Amino acid sequence: MRIGLCGVGNVGSALVELFRENRFEIDRRLVRSISLEQVACRSDSPECDLSGLSVTKDVFAITDNPALDVVVELIGGTDVAKSLVLQAMRNGKHVVTANKALIALHGAEIFSVAREMGVKIFYEASVAGGIPIIKALREGVAGNVINRIAGIVNGTSNYILSEMSGARGDQNFVAVLAEAQKLGYAEADPSFDVDGIDAAHKITILAMLGFGASVNFESVHVEGLSHISLDDLKLVDELGYCLKPLGIATKRCDQLSLRVHPCMVEKNNILSKIGGVTNAVLVDGDPVGEILLVGPGAGGPATASAVMSDLIDLSRGADLPNQGFLELRETSVYSIDELICSVYIRVDVKNQNGVMASVTGILEKNDIGIEAIIQKEVNERVARIAIVTSETKERIINESLSELSSLSAMVVPPQKIRIF
Ligand code: HSE
C-alpha cells in the first residue's frame, strides 16, 4: 500500500518519524506492507528528515500520482483540503485525514463520494488526538444504543483553564494561550480553540458516529472561554468545582442536544481530574454503561499515532462503514433554551442592605432553588454573590438574569456558568 502525505507540519513530521522509529512494530501488525512514497511540503526547511522520499510542493501531485493507493491529508483548513480529499477519492485512492473541520462541515459530501468511488475515508486523528475514540464508537461499542457522549475534546482550552485554575492561578489568559501555541497544541488560528469551534467540530463528528445522526454543525450551541475571569475560577473552586471546557452530546426522545461551553464539574467527578492538554471522552451506552477514554488530545506525536492506526486498518482491508452506520438519519436538535441544568450565577452588586434579598427574591419568584451561596465584599462599595441553582430550564435562568441585570444595585451584568 503506497502512501502519499500532504502536509509536513507538526503532525506530518511526527508521522514521518513514526514510520522510521516504530517500523518494526508497525510491520508486524500489517496485513499488506505499507510504504511512505511521496510527500507534499511547502517549506524549504521541513521539521523532519525527508531523505529517501519524493518531495513536491504541490498537493495535487500526490492526489494525481497513479502509483499511490492512499493519500494522508494533514494540511488542515477546509478549502484546499476539501478539493484534495475529493480529488484523491475520485482518483480511486483511500484517504486518511486529521481534519475535524473538514469532516464536521463537509462530511456528508465526502462520505457520499467515498461510497460512490468504493474507497475509505478514515479520520481517527480528527477527534481527541491520540485517544482512539472513533474506533471505540465505530467498533468497540457498536452493539450499544448511545445515550450521551461528553468530555474534554479541546486540549488547548483544557490547558488554559488548568493553568489559570492551578498553582499558577495568577496567569492571565493571553500568556497561557501563547504557551499552548508554543507547545504545538493550538490551531493555526487559536480562536478556533478558545471560542469552542474546534470542540464543536469534534462533537459534531462524535454525535454522527454515536447516534447515527446527520448533524448540522450550525446546530451545535457554542460558547468559548473569553468571559471566564480569574475571580470566577476562584469562586468555582471555593464552591467545590473545577471548570472544564466540555463538549456534550445527548439524545433525548429522538432529539439531540449538542453543546460546547465551559462547564463546572464537581471535584469528585473524574473529569475534574483531567488537566493540561489531556482529553477525556465519556460514552454512556446501553448496555455497556459508562466508559471513559483518556489521553493526550493534541500535539504531533499523539495525533500521528492516530493517523498511523488508520493506515494500519487500511492495510488490513478493514471493511468498516466510514460513518459508523451505513446511513445517517435526519435528527432534530433541541434548542439550548430547553436545556435543564443547574447553573452558577455570579453578581457584583452595590454593597448595601437589602440587595441580597432582591437577588434571591428574583430567583424565588421564578421558582429557582438555591443549592449553595457565597457572599464576599469586593470593596466598600461592591459585594459579590455567587449562587449555585437547582436544576432549571435555561430559558427561565436567562429571564432571571435579565431581571437581575435591571436591578438598580447591579454593578456589572450577571455571569452564568452551567454545571455538569
Ligand atoms: N487544537 C486542538 C486542541 C488540536 O487543542 O485540542 C487537536 O485537535
State mean pLDDT over 136-154. Answer: 97
147 and 280 both lie in a single domain = yes
Residue 305 belongs to a domain? no
38 and 78 both lie in a single domain = yes
Residue 63 belongs to a domain? yes
pLDDT at 169 over 70: no
pLDDT band with cut points at 50, 70 and 90 for residue 354: very high
Give the distance (Å) from ligand 1 centre to CA of residue 397: 32
143 CB-near residues (< 8 Å, 6+ apart): none
No. of helices (H) and no. of strands (E), the chain? 14, 20
DSSP string, 141-190: TTTSEEEEEEEE--HHHHHHHHHHHSTTTT--HHHHHHHHHHTT-S-SST
Give the distance (Å) from ligand 1 centre to CA of residue 202: 10
pLDDT tens sequence across 362-387: 999 999 999 999 999 999 999 999 99
Q: Would you put residue 154 in left (φ > 0), alpha (ψ -120 to 50) or beta? A: beta
pLDDT for residue 107: 96
Which CATH number covers residue 279?
A: 3.30.360.10
State mean pLDDT over 7-21. Answer: 96
**Distance in angstroms between the alpha carbons of the first and the last residue of the chain:** 45
Angle 280-183-25 (CA atoms, 0-180°, nearest 5)?
A: 65
Give the distance (Å) from ligand 1 centre to CA of residue 2: 28
Nearest-atom index, ligand 1, CA of 98: 8
Nearest CA to ligand 1 atom 8: 298
Residue 364 belongs to a domain? yes
CA pair distance 1, 14, nearest whole angstrom: 20
pLDDT for residue 269: 96
pLDDT tens sequence across 235-261: 999 999 999 999 999 998 889 999 999
pLDDT for residue 172: 78
pLDDT for residue 171: 72
User: Which residues line the pocket of ligand 1, CB cutoff 6 A?
Assistant: 129, 154-156, 185-187, 193, 198, 297-298
Residue 288 belongs to a domain? yes
137 and 285 both lie in a single domain = yes
pLDDT for residue 290: 97
pLDDT for residue 312: 97
Active site residue 202: yes
179 and 289 both lie in a single domain = yes
Nearest-atom index, ligand 1, CA of 186: 1
pLDDT for residue 168: 64
Last-in-domain residue among 270, 296, 322: 296
173 and 247 both lie in a single domain = yes
State mean pLDDT over 17-46. Answer: 95
Domain with 386 in it: 337-419
Which CATH number covers residue 385?
A: 3.30.70.260
Last-in-domain residue among 78, 106, 126: 126
Residue 263 belongs to a domain? yes
Range from 117-121, 186-190, 210-214 carrying the lowest mean pLDDT: 186-190
165 and 280 both lie in a single domain = yes
pLDDT for residue 32: 95
71 and 192 both lie in a single domain = no
Residue 50 belongs to a domain? yes
pLDDT tens sequence across 33-81: 999 999 999 998 888 999 999 999 999 999 999 999 999 999 999 999 9
Give the distance (Å) from ligand 1 centre to CA of residue 372: 34
Please give the C-alpha separations between residue 47 and each of 7, 99, 149, 260, in angstroms, as whole numbers.
11, 20, 36, 33
28 by DSSP, 3-state: which?
Answer: coil
Nearest-atom index, ligand 1, CA of 279: 6
104 and 142 both lie in a single domain = no
Nearest-atom index, ligand 1, CA of 193: 1
pLDDT at 166 over 80: no
Give the distance (Å) from ligand 1 centre to CA of residue 211: 23
Alpha helices in 47-98 (DSSP H): 59-63, 80-90
10 by DSSP, 3-state: which?
Answer: helix
Residue that is written with C-alpha cell 471546557 in the block: 245
| Strand pairing class (329-330; 213-214) | parallel
pLDDT for residue 319: 87
> Can you say how many angstroms the Cα of residue 175 is from the centroid of all Cα atoms in its chain?
22
Residues forming beta bridges with residue 258, ordered by sequence position: 249
pTM of the predicted protein model: 0.95
Q: Are 99 and 81 in contact (CB under 8 A)?
A: yes
% of the chain residues with pLDDT over 70: 99
274 and 175 both lie in a single domain = yes
The catalytic residue among 100, 135, 202, 416 is 202
Last-in-domain residue among 242, 265, 296: 296
CA pair distance 200, 173, nearest whole angstrom: 21
Amino acid letter at 120? K
Residue 302 belongs to a domain? no
Which CATH number covers residue 114?
A: 3.40.50.720
pLDDT band with cut points at 50, 70 and 90 for residue 173: confident
Q: Within 13 A of 400's CA, how many CA atoms are on the CB side?
A: 28
Residue 324 belongs to a domain? no
